[in-house]
Amino acid sequence: MLKASYINNENKSVNSSFNVLEPNIKNIISMANYCYACNRCVNVCPLSHLDVFYPRNLVGDLIFSSLGDVLKNYNIWNCLTCGQCTIYCPMTQENDGVRIPELILELRKISSNNNSELDKIAKCETHDEIFPLISKIMAGDKLEPNKLDFLHETHLKTTVSGEIAYFVGCLPLMEDIFYNWGINYSNIAKSIIGLLNEKGIVPVVLNEKCCGHDVLWGKGDIETFKKLAEYNVKLYKNAGVKTIITSCAEGYRTWKFDYPKIIKDFDFKVLHFTEFFLKEKILENIRFPQKLNLKVTYHD
Q: What is the mean pLDDT of residues 84-91?
A: 94
Helix (H, G, I), strand (E, B) or coil at 96: strand
Start-end of H helices in the chain: 4-14, 22-32, 40-44, 55-64, 67-73, 84-88, 100-111, 115-124, 130-138, 171-177, 186-198, 213-217, 222-238, 249-253, 259-262, 273-280
Question: Is the model's pLDDT at 13 over the cut of 60?
Answer: no
Residue 295 domain-assigned (yes or no)? no
Identify the band that residue 22 occupies on the pLDDT scale cut at 50, 70 and 90.
low
Higher-confidence position of 167 and 292:
167
Specify whether 120 is located in the same domain as 161.
no
Question: Is the model's pLDDT at 287 over the cut of 90?
Answer: no
Specify whether 137 is located in the same domain as 92.
no
Q: What is the mean pLDDT of residues 3-29?
A: 53
Q: What is the pLDDT of residues 183-217, one digit of tens each?
A: 888 999 999 999 999 999 999 999 999 999 999 99
Q: What is the average pLDDT value for the chain, to the nearest integer?
A: 87
Domain that holds residue 172: 128-280
Out of 38-52, 234-248, 262-276, 282-296, pick the least confident. 282-296
pLDDT at position 142: 75
**Radius of gyration, CA atoms only, the chain:** 21
Residue 19's CATH number: 1.10.1060
Start-end of H helices in 125-221: 130-138, 171-177, 186-198, 213-217
Q: Distance between CA atoms of 213 and 131, rounded to whole angstroms?
A: 9
Specify whether 138 is located in the same domain as 88.
no
Specify whether 150 is located in the same domain as 188.
yes
Specify whether 169 is located in the same domain as 231.
yes
Specify whether 74 is located in the same domain as 113.
yes
Q: What is the mean pLDDT of residues 31-52?
A: 94
